[in-house]
Structure 1
Amino acid sequence: MSNARRAERAAKSEMHMSDDTFFNLSGQVRDAYVKLDDVLAHTLRMSADMIDTARTIGLAPEQGQKLFKRFHGCIDTMMQSREQLLGAHLEATKIRMKTNQAERADGCYSPWSALEEKQADALRLVA
């Protein structure tokens, strides 16, 4: 969607959201992905370590199967949760596009999101 179209939509909106609310919610959504991805990565590493440990200690295949199946179920549930978060995020974006914040194109992942705030401010001054 063009910036002009976004601005037009925002100007006509009956729903208004403050900039603070927009940035707060965007940060929370971004943080939720980070935290989910961190726990998913941790659990995958732990699962791999369990497999290595099972082999090292000579765990019987049927016992290992039960353990590995539990880890797989746990990881699958985390992936389902991430998918649900993505769906909720997309719904929230659809709603935001009907508010005065529709003209914002940066959302949760602005070009500055990967930088610490002090670094982003410095880069903005240079630009």
Structure 2
Amino acid sequence: MYGNRKALCDELTRMFTPDEPLSLLVWTEEGIHTACRELHPTDEEISALLEIIGSNTMNVYRRKGVTDASVCDLLTRHREAVTRQVMVPAQVLSRLVRNAECELNRQEGLAWETGRPTPARVCQGMADLEMLKALLAA
């Protein structure tokens, strides 16, 4: 499981009876930092690793566990995934950019209609699209 303490406690309450014996192992930002100290993880990487660890199924967790070595391996794989590059035909990418831009504009409009500011993920998505448009125009 992944989340803040309150959300995790609520989930544990839903999953188990109050008198059911449990063993609870917890990974924190500090624990991830300590496990990967030689790789110098960033705060963003630490957050990503906590989420990755928390999304493991119990079956995977029981078979493989979560050790310092496996957390370092997760960090290495995460870094590779983040920097991975692929080739895409420009025409296909242009269509996807247009579709994504329409959806982000729709989401921004929904936020404005309810009096909320543009969500940060929408702003980031728009910035990403501008970068892609510039690359396509080059």
Q: TM-score, structure 2 length as denominator?
A: 0.31
Greater relative contact order structure (CA < 8 Å, 6+ sep)? 1
Instruction: Point out the structure with the larger helix share.
Output: 1
TM-score computed with the length of structure 1 as normaliser = 0.33
